[in-house]
Amino acid sequence: MSLDAAQRRALLAHPAGWIACGFGSGLSPFAPGTAGSLTALIPWLALRELPWPLYLGVVALVFAVGIWASNVAIERLRIADPGAVVVDEFVGQWIALLPLLIAPKAWPWIVVGFVLFRVFDVWKPWPVSWLDRHVKGGSGVMLDDVAAGAYAAIVLAIALRVVA
């Protein structure tokens, strides 16, 4: 469901709205989650150069800020899980790409990590589906993508190991 003009204004009138919608990427009229995941690759290109403890710290910080921003967006839009909120895709995508911090950073592997995250985020195997249905508010918005990102990271790590 895409937002009407009044909803967009309400969302973007607060700094949390900009964070929640991935600096506008979640406002895409087509596949906002995929647009958010693609946009997440831009800062990831810089984040991947960080030492892994600092990388995890940034992911944890964005997760916490994402809960707050998602709660603000939910309150302003009066929608339980607005499609325009894609900060969760940023965190999930960055978790999915964790194995690439210690493995080759070639573009094909980045694409594999991207696709794996999108598959798990859409498919929602257990416990992703349970989190999506039972945890509400900003925490719920964020947690199902963390779980989807973890699944994608595990599969990506296995694929890297098999190919190596």
pLDDT tens, position by position, 11-37: 999 999 999 999 999 999 999 999 999
pLDDT tens for 75-103 read 999 999 999 999 999 999 999 999 999 87
Which residues neighbour 22 within 8 Å (Cβ) at sequence distance 6 or greater? 35, 36, 39, 40, 86, 87, 89, 90
Mean local confidence (pLDDT), 98-117 = 92
CB 90 within 8 A of CB 22: yes
Structural tokens at position 108:
């094909």
Residue reference for tokens 């991207």: 114
Q: For residue 126, what is the DSSP state? A: T
Virtual torsion, Cα 56, 59, 61, 67, nearest 10 deg: -140
> Cα dist. 18→26, 107, 145, 149, 161 in Å?
9, 28, 19, 22, 38
